[in-house]
Amino acid sequence: MSAKNKAVFLDRDGVLNKELGDYVCQVEDFVVLDNFETLKTLQDKGYLLIVATNQGGLAKGWYTENELAKMHAHLRQLYKEHGVEFTDVFYCPHHPNFTGDCDCRKPKPGLLLQGIAKYNIDPSLSYFIGDRDRDVEAGTAAGVTGILINSDQPISEVLHLIA
């Protein structure tokens, strides 16, 4: 049996890009935060970097899958220019008021469980950095250590919490 991977799951809005209120709806408003060096350090320590984000604006019709893909391509490209590769981006397109209940919208652990299964991740060696209590709750439910930061807080300030 192959060894399991370790990962740092990352919320998107308020962690990787500037928090702009309810939703970032277009790539022109997508401001990437400078966490390049910190995420490169984690990557160099052998962590897979996986984005796990609620995107209820899709269910509300505020932006399209195409616009979301542009935002994620922009995010990936800027980080790639600094030597950082995201292993994957998982997102929940649902919103309970528009699409009903689902298993992937945080605080449920569905997004993390998808990543754990797809990339053979050991949850006990992994972390989830988010700026909302629901992120920590999702991490805990998936067996991953949750780390709560303030919106737009540099990840470097919590790097010491990751083994």
Annotated catalytic residues are: 11, 13
DSSP code of residue 90: E
Q: Tokens at residue 101, please?
A: 């209940």
Look up tokens 């797809």; give the residue: 118
Phi/psi of residue 125, nearest 5 degrees = -105, 10
What does the alpha-carbon distance between residue 87 and residue 115 come to, in Å, rounded to a whole number?
Answer: 9
What does the alpha-carbon distance between residue 17 and residue 28 come to, in Å, rounded to a whole number?
Answer: 12
By the 10 Å C-beta count (0-12 exposed, 13-18 middle, 19+ buried), 50 is classed as buried
Cβ atoms of 106 and 52 closer than 8 Å: yes
